[in-house]
Amino acid sequence: MEEFHNVETDSLLFEKISEKVRKHPIVIVGLPGIGLVGKIVADYLIKQLKAKKFAIFYSPAFPPQVIMKRNGKVRMLSYRFYHANVSSKEFIFLVGDIQPFDSDWQHGVCKGLLEYLSKFDPKEIITIGGYGTNQFVQKPRVLGAANAQVEIEEYKKLGVVFGEARGSIIGAAGLFVAMSRFYGIPAICLMGETHGAYVDANAAKAVLEIIAKRFKLKIDYSELEKKVQLTERAMREIEEELKKMQQPKEKENLNYFR
Amino acid sequence: MEEFHNVETDSLLFEKISEKVRKHPIVIVGLPGIGLVGKIVADYLIKQLKAKKFAIFYSPAFPPQVIMKRNGKVRMLSYRFYHANVSSKEFIFLVGDIQPFDSDWQHGVCKGLLEYLSKFDPKEIITIGGYGTNQFVQKPRVLGAANAQVEIEEYKKLGVVFGEARGSIIGAAGLFVAMSRFYGIPAICLMGETHGAYVDANAAKAVLEIIAKRFKLKIDYSELEKKVQLTERAMREIEEELKKMQQPKEKENLNYFR
Amino acid sequence: MEEFHNVETDSLLFEKISEKVRKHPIVIVGLPGIGLVGKIVADYLIKQLKAKKFAIFYSPAFPPQVIMKRNGKVRMLSYRFYHANVSSKEFIFLVGDIQPFDSDWQHGVCKGLLEYLSKFDPKEIITIGGYGTNQFVQKPRVLGAANAQVEIEEYKKLGVVFGEARGSIIGAAGLFVAMSRFYGIPAICLMGETHGAYVDANAAKAVLEIIAKRFKLKIDYSELEKKVQLTERAMREIEEELKKMQQPKEKENLNYFR
Amino acid sequence: MEEFHNVETDSLLFEKISEKVRKHPIVIVGLPGIGLVGKIVADYLIKQLKAKKFAIFYSPAFPPQVIMKRNGKVRMLSYRFYHANVSSKEFIFLVGDIQPFDSDWQHGVCKGLLEYLSKFDPKEIITIGGYGTNQFVQKPRVLGAANAQVEIEEYKKLGVVFGEARGSIIGAAGLFVAMSRFYGIPAICLMGETHGAYVDANAAKAVLEIIAKRFKLKIDYSELEKKVQLTERAMREIEEELKKMQQPKEKENLNYFR
């Protein structure tokens, strides 16, 4: 069996793989959410920057199911921490399978993760999400919501739009930003405009460009472009299916009442 | 980043902004509920008495969502404490965004807040609510339900009606009054009669007048009157929509079965 | 304000009114359940034996609502303990407003109450319930389910039927009996046969007669007979309403599709 | 009353009946799940190997209901531990009435049971389940998913298929395997292919044969064959009912709209 060390924090379980993470990292959080924008962005950066997994996080907040892998093994639903050092900047990426459903577990998991991350004394936490518009967006803007004025100033320069997003950010992307203030960590949520009903690599690209500019990263978008095309096709198919659904249900009714 | 001090009580988090609250305050609680009567009354008093925010309360009982503000920042759902000193009377106002859904969280949050408030040794706790009548009420009465005979006597003199409200008070407005007894604090729930299906400034005014008489406060109702007019118009619109909804759904059926 | 002493056990809150309860009592539990048989029996015994309230129990497991009383006061949902001494036998009665919905709270409340009761070292715990038959029962039998052979022997002599009730006892009436074993207390659930869809004083009488025989109590059934008549009339009305409901919904359909 | 010893672990309650379990057992877990395959296999092995009950486990995670037994007694929903020593191999069987519904309780119960089992220092944990195919399976295969390569090698030799099962294992059968890694215990989930909509003794037999081969057990399948025939008949009846359900609901509609 593989070796592992684990540290338990209340009902959270961390499995450490490596401890070579440097202090003062930039943390990028991409959990499942609207348009899967956050997930695509974080996964893409992990691949592009060749980030290495250094910790796994398990929680009773996740559904009691295990994923069967192609190699015959199982793995629990988890959040995974990766890190990469690019031009003397340390990055931590947090990705995962799912978000907890219950309010108190969302708060509990978020607090547990922030307490873990705060040990590395992060410079900044960036959460990625989608901003649902219910419309096809040709040129998605990136909307921002931060916990400190310094973040707003920094990202305004890069073209991020503040004060125009309406309503609430639901789930971890928002909670991380708000709760980071209690740990004294500047944090921002970057939201790519997206339809909301499909996986949107286009919105992901818009966010990736902001991050690349901010940290002077060279990102090869060629793989993402392929994803964008696939996503656009998927989108058109969904829209056509939606149209069909809105047409009168004649056939079904005939069938049902014959 | 802004400075802040926080005190954690189990799963409740208090953020102190100021500690200049005087002892023996009168506490007025206006949380979201029927007709938003409680919320309107407390918000209006905060504005009229120029009350100052002195503490914020966060809880995992609240939904995991953050509100995006016009200035580009986020804020968590919260309960907020204000205080004001008027003719040598100290007032504390408790207002908030939402009430917890789960039974145990309702009890837990209420207990946490009462423990916090009991440090100031309150003279009296007044919770404000609406008493739903399902009818348009021209001259709303104020109904009362208290945890001590002394409260009943005091408010009867001011025209509050006791023993006529039927059934249960659901949520914080009732729980605060009942649980205050365990802390030895006299408490009363003042309920303005209201339709229940719309925001009712008219019921709010009836409650405000009782509070003004009780504590000899001068309240300028001119802004509230404007609210009352807006509310009445909104009410008529809702009633008309409700009437339409009760008419036979001919068109929809034709459409559905054609 | 009234004086009170309270003892807190985790998330349970006991309010003691008197401590003059004698050791080795017979405990009779009548909480809301099928046909309200348990509630009727316990309430009737409390009245007949002139039992006195000696403790109140509150729990975050109960819905966050307070009942408005005719005298203008509020009271929280609660479980109430009464005691009476009849021909040198000490009786404790446990009655209440509601049962918790969640599994863990049901177990938690039951455990909390048994820990409290076990301090009095009870001779026996009797829970009262209804056994739903979905039919009108002319001469309801009393079915029994116990946690010890000694109980079965004792109640068989009195006409209680064992081994014929099928399935599960849901809620406190069953859990109390099963969990009493962990405290070394003999316990039995007495179930009066009842339709299940209405309040059944007739089933209650059958159970009362068993308890009267067992403890040589003189019970005046005249008030209960009145209740039985009222209950039977209510039952017939419900049955007629049920019949109407099973007839084809012609009028409604015509109305709905016109 | 019967004697009993109990050990409490947080909210879990263990009742020990005997402690004569030998160290380094093989643990076989058969809890209710798809096709009741796990339950049939474990129950059948307990009977065939004349295993003896040595511990009972209760939890607030289980529904608050008690089962009425034919002998007039009640029993709580529980998990039961049996053990048997066959040709100097110690076996532990874990069977039970139900699985917890809530995510956190599933994790909590699984952790509690693994902590208890780890005291015996198990050689291996085998959980049994069904793999739902939504089709009638003539010759069910046994699919495997393990937490260690050594398990995969061992069971591949016996004909178990790895890497072909898709998706997730929901509930205890999967969680036990994944969480066993934290206790350093090799574990595997054996899944008999089954329709999923009926109790399947046929799939159970396929799994039993693997276990018999693995541990050189002699199993008399004659009783199971009877079960297989009963199961197949039940299956055909269900399929016919399903066909009827898919036919146009003419009669009901006529009735409903007349």
pLDDT digits (tens, 9 = 90+) for D10-51: 456 778 887 689 999 999 999 988 888 998 999 999 999 999
Pairing of strands D187-194, A74-76: unpaired
Structural contact between residues A219 and A40, judged by C-beta atoms closer than 8 angstroms: no
To the nearest 10°, the Cα dihedral for D250, D254, D256, D257? 130
Q: Does D248 touch chain C (CB under 8 A)?
A: no
Q: Read out DSSP for chain D? A: ----EEEEETTEEEEES---PPSSPEEEEE-S-GGGHHHHHHHHHHHHTT-EEEEEEE-TTS-SEEEEPTTSBEEE--EEEEEEEETTEEEEEEEES---SSHHHHHHHHHHHHHHHHTT--SEEEEEEEEE-SS--SS--EEEEESSHHHHHHHHTTT-EES---SEEESHHHHHHHHHGGGT--EEEEEEEE-SSS--HHHHHHHHHHHHHHHT-----HHHHHHHHHHHHHHHHHHHHHHHHHS--HHHHHHHH-
Q: Does A212 touch chain D (CB under 8 A)?
A: no
Q: Does C184 touch chain B (CB under 8 A)?
A: no
Sign of the torsion angle spanned by Cα atoms D244, D246, D251, D255 = positive
Cβ contact (<8 Å) for B72 and A103?
no
Question: For chain B, what percent of residues have pLDDT higher than 70?
Answer: 83
Cβ contact (<8 Å) for A68 and D169?
yes
| Closest in B162, B171, B253 to C64, CB measured | B171
Q: Does C103 touch chain B (CB under 8 A)?
A: no
Give the residue among A107, A96, A18 at the shortest CA–CA distance from A58. A96
Cβ contact (<8 Å) for A172 and B71?
no
Q: Beta partners for B29?
A: B94, B127
Cβ contact (<8 Å) for C182 and D6?
yes
Structural contact between residues D108 and D11, judged by C-beta atoms closer than 8 angstroms: yes
Angle at A207 between CA A204 and CA A210, to 5 degrees: 150
Residue of B nearest to A155 (CA): B72
Query: How far apart (Å, rounded) are the C-alpha atoms in residues D134 and D195?
Result: 5
pLDDT at D105: 86
What number is the average pLDDT over the span B162-174? 92
Q: Does C13 touch chain B (CB under 8 A)?
A: yes
Query: How far apart (Å, rounded) are the C-alpha atoms in residues A172 and A165?
Result: 17
Q: Which of B139-148, C53-62, D8-17, D57-66 has the highest mean pLDDT?
A: B139-148
Query: How far apart (Å, rounded) are the C-alpha atoms in residues D206 and D210?
Result: 7
Cβ contact (<8 Å) for D104 and A11?
yes
Chains D and B touch (3+ CB pairs under 8 A): no
Question: For chain D, what percent of residues have pLDDT higher than 70?
Answer: 84
What number is the average pLDDT over the span C110-130? 95
Structural contact between residues A43 and A95, judged by C-beta atoms closer than 8 angstroms: yes
Sign of the torsion angle spanned by Cα atoms B29, B31, B34, B39 = positive
| Closest in B64, B71, B105 to A106, CB measured | B64
Averaged confidence pLDDT in chain B: 85
Pairing of strands D26-30, D89-96: parallel
Name the band, by pLDDT with cuts 50, 70 and 90, for residue B36: confident
Tokens of B246: 């009760």
Cβ contact (<8 Å) for B186 and C1?
yes
Q: Which string of b and e fits B93-128 if b means at least 16 CB within 10 Å?
A: bbbbbebbebbbbbbbbbbbbbebbeebebebbbbb
Query: How far apart (Å, rounded) are the C-alpha atoms in residues C116 and C183?
Result: 11
pLDDT at A239: 62
Tens of pLDDT, residues D146-170: 999 999 999 999 999 999 998 889 9
Q: Is the pLDDT of residue D254 over 60?
A: no
Q: Does C13 touch chain D (CB under 8 A)?
A: no
Burial label, A119 (beta-carbon count in 10 A; 0-12, 13-18, 19+) = exposed
Judged by DSSP in three states, B25 sits in coil
Judged by DSSP in three states, A160 sits in coil
Q: Is the pLDDT of residue D250 over 70?
A: no
| Closest in A144, A166, A248 to B258, CB measured | A248
Tens of pLDDT, residues C63-94: 898 999 999 999 999 999 999 999 899 999 99
What number is the average pLDDT over the span A224-233? 72
Q: Is the pLDDT of residue A136 over 60?
A: yes
Placement of tokens 């009054």 in the chain: B177
Angle at C52 between CA C48 and CA C54, to 5 degrees: 150
Cβ contact (<8 Å) for B60 and A103?
yes
Tens of pLDDT, residues C16-64: 877 689 999 999 999 988 888 998 999 999 999 999 999 999 998 898 9
Residues 6+ apart with CB under 8 A from C184: D1
Query: How far apart (Å, rounded) are the C-alpha atoms in residues D125 and D123?
Result: 7
Placement of tokens 């009066």 in the chain: C192
What number is the average pLDDT over the span C162-177? 93
Q: Give how far C41 is from chain D: nearest CA, Å.
A: 22
Q: Does C255 touch chain B (CB under 8 A)?
A: yes
Which residues in C lie closer than 8 A to residue D66 (C-beta atoms)?
145, 168-169, 174-175, 177-178
Other beta carbons within 10 angstroms of residue D234's beta carbon come to 15
Cβ contact (<8 Å) for D66 and C253?
no
Cβ contact (<8 Å) for D74 and C107?
no
pLDDT at A105: 86
Residues 6+ apart with CB under 8 A from B97: B32, B62, B67, B77, B78, B79
Q: Give how far C33 is from chain D: nearest CA, Å.
A: 13
Task: State the chains in contact with D (3 or more Cβ–Cβ pairs under 8 Å).
Answer: A, C
Query: How far apart (Å, rounded) are the C-alpha atoms in residues A26 and A190?
Result: 14
Interface A-D, measured as beta-carbon pairs within 8 A, has a size of 91
Surface of D (66-95) touching C: CB under 8 A:
66-76
Residue of B nearest to C252 (CA): B248
Q: Output D77 or C238, whichever has higher pLDDT.
A: D77
How close are the terminal C-alpha atoms of chain A, in Å?
62
Query: How far apart (Å, rounded) are the C-alpha atoms in residues B172 and B106?
Result: 7
Query: How far apart (Å, rounded) are the C-alpha atoms in residues B130 and B35?
Result: 6
Q: Is the pLDDT of residue B10 over 90?
A: no
Of the residues C59, C99, C105, C107, the best mutation for testing chain D's interface (the one with the most D CB atoms within 10 Å of its CB) is: C107
Q: Give how far D248 is from chain A: nearest CA, Å.
A: 7
pLDDT at D256: 24
Backbone Cα Rg of chain B: 20
Biggest CA pair distance of chain C: 72
**How high is the ipTM of this complex?**
0.84
Other beta carbons within 10 angstroms of residue A234's beta carbon come to 15
What number is the average pLDDT over the span B48-63? 93
Q: Does B242 touch chain A (CB under 8 A)?
A: no
Angle at C241 between CA C236 and CA C246, to 5 degrees: 125
Structural contact between residues D105 and A28, judged by C-beta atoms closer than 8 angstroms: no
Between A130-134, A205-209, B169-173, C99-103, the lowest mean confidence (pLDDT) is in C99-103
What number is the average pLDDT over the span C183-203? 91
Cβ contact (<8 Å) for C175 and D13?
no
Query: How far apart (Å, rounded) are the C-alpha atoms in residues D198 and A10?
Result: 40
Give the residue among C89, C27, C88 at the shortest CA–CA distance from C54. C27
Helix (H) or strand (E) holding C143: strand C142-146
pLDDT at A258: 21
pLDDT at A232: 65
Residue of A nearest to B104 (CA): A104
pTM: 0.86
Structural contact between residues D127 and D115, judged by C-beta atoms closer than 8 angstroms: no
Q: Does D55 touch chain A (CB under 8 A)?
A: no
Tens of pLDDT, residues A46-79: 999 999 999 999 998 898 989 999 999 999 999 9
Q: Does C186 touch chain D (CB under 8 A)?
A: yes
Structural contact between residues B75 and B242, judged by C-beta atoms closer than 8 angstroms: no
Give the residue among C113, C142, C131 at the shortest CA–CA distance from C214. C142
Angle at B133 between CA B129 and CA B138, to 5 degrees: 90
Tens of pLDDT, residues D89-127: 999 999 998 888 888 889 989 999 999 999 999 999 999
Q: Output C147 or D247, whichever has higher pLDDT.
A: C147
Q: Does C148 touch chain D (CB under 8 A)?
A: yes
To the nearest 10°, the Cα dihedral for C231, C236, C242, C245? -130
pLDDT at A243: 63
Q: Is the pLDDT of residue D258 over 50?
A: no
Q: Does A110 touch chain B (CB under 8 A)?
A: yes
Supply the angle between the helices C172-180 and C103-118 in degrees, to the nearest 10: 50
- Report helix, strand and coil shares of chain B as percent, to nearest 5: 40, 30, 35
Placement of tokens 């303005």 in the chain: B192
Placement of tokens 């793995």 in the chain: A75
Q: Is the pLDDT of residue B168 over 80?
A: yes
Judged by DSSP in three states, C202 sits in helix
What number is the average pLDDT over the span B185-205? 91
| Closest in C72, C255, C256 to B144, CB measured | C72
Residue of A nearest to B65 (CA): A170
| Closest in A62, A64, A256 to D171, CB measured | A64
pLDDT at C33: 86
Q: Is the pLDDT of residue A139 over 60?
A: yes
Which residues in B lie closer than 8 A to residue A253 (C-beta atoms)?
256-257
